[in-house]
Structure 1
């Protein structure tokens, strides 16, 4: 399965990962289940007829603990660098331009690192941690500016909102209220593509025409698109949970836990930024 991340598509768990022969989908026509199960041709999956494992489990297979620990490292890096940026990069009027410049530069570096990782055949922890560090700097600058010039409570609201969305989606997924299949994935990816194209168009109109462009990020339309952005982020979380579940169930290599952490971190950053924008508009001072 390809990535559910809203920024770009990264490789999924079903590719060859250097020495893990057979984990990649080598015979896509072999089983009918391959149409919906990205690991259906994996020799470590269970036999659908007998329910017994087709091959012994590997000692280096990915576990939930691996995903949790890697995600804690990436999110911890984001939080630490965001905190440092908030404290060390002043956003007072005399230094606002400089701080914004550093924040935008950090966001561009984070994007480049994320793109490089997306084209790698295997997870590179240094790239993922680097992405988290620079993304944290960007979030720290933006959050400090919003807290200073809008409302100090907006950042806390955005953090709590992100946590609530994560918990709600995880609970709904575990209860099987959300069923991730090809139709769900296709709908979410198509909706995300349309959403991002509208945001890019809004940005271009804003840059060349001034003001808020098409108005998709302020007022009533801003609230509507903020809610849509949060809902899309929740859908991406469900897709990420599905990838993690499939990877653990069907014996993904342990290093794939880094990719799972990478995707979850990007999705949570997406939700936080949408929450920050939404609560900023609702505060009445967009």
Structure 2
């Protein structure tokens, strides 16, 4: 998401300390034309972000429901699709990041399809539906409500300025996210070679780790909102809204997964 803010037709992030382009009545006068003119695309608006994010989440929900339905009749196929979704989603994000495909609608929607399969399958697993838990649907509903609540709450926090997104804030977030990633990978290797799984076994350490992940996912929304805000103010091309949608979708899926996992601990699933 931070990389997106450098796509400004030559202007670099931080060029406008106030957050608003200088000479707003005649933007980018020093460049002779706006970024939208350079790329042949109109400037991005909030409506673009909302619509593209809505479409991305709609695709995720659609394919999540499809895989969820498949699990009721053929759990084996559903779990295979879940694995394909997890791996495919990761590869798609890597392509978007290192291939500079930030404004690609195809990449974002392909990611949404993969993550839909993943979300549907992981919901079946964590809710206990495969073992006949009658309250599995309630658990999933609680996770969805929790995810929406956190998202709206962090949007309110950002709009009110209660927490300022600064370069220092982003550096701290990056360090924390890398730390969590290293811990998760270490735990995975430990589980593979020894069978021990302290960060995901439902014990006190696992609960604390899930709470940390949920907190980081929530705070990540602030960086996402700030990046989108800077792009809109800088007049980035409207197609870049697909990149914003991808970033928000990644954070939402992570948050939902962690909330569902945490709830499953308390349900003993």
What TM-score do the two structures reach when normalised by structure 2? 0.86
Distance in 2, Cα, partners of 1:135 & 1:247: 26
TM-superposed deviation, 1:218: 1.8
Distance 2:248 2:260 in 1: 18
CA distance in 2, matches of 1:208, 1:121: 36
Match of 1:239 in 2: 223
1:116 aligned to 2:100? Answer: no
Q: How far 1:120 moved relative to its partner?
A: 2.6
Pairwise CA distance, 1:51:
8.9
2:141 counterpart of 1:159 = no
Q: 2:4 aligns with which of 3, 12, 33?
A: 12
* 1-structure distance, mates of 2:63, 2:113: 6
Shift of 1:52: 7.0
Checking the alignment, whether the CA contact within 8 Å between 1:77 and 1:132 is kept in structure 2 is: yes
Instruction: Indicate conservation of the 8 Å contact 1:165/1:234, yes or no.
Output: yes
Which range moves more in the overlay, 164-173 or 106-115? 106-115
Residue 253 and residue 173 in structure 1: after superposition, are their counterparts in 2 closer, same or farther (change >3 A)?
A: same
Tell me the equivalent position of 2:78. 99
Q: Secondary structure at the match of 2:152?
A: helix
SS at match of 1:90: helix
Match of 1:131 among 111, 129, 132: 111
In structure 1, what is the equivalent of residue 63 of structure 2?
81
Higher relative contact order (CA 8 A, sep 6+): 2
Q: What is the TM-score of this pair, normalised by structure 1? A: 0.81
Number of residue equivalences: 253
Higher relative helix content = 2
Comparing 58-67 with 190-199, which one deviates more in the overlay? 58-67
Contact 1:199 / 1:216 at 8 angstroms: preserved in 2?
Answer: no
Cα offset for 1:222?
1.4
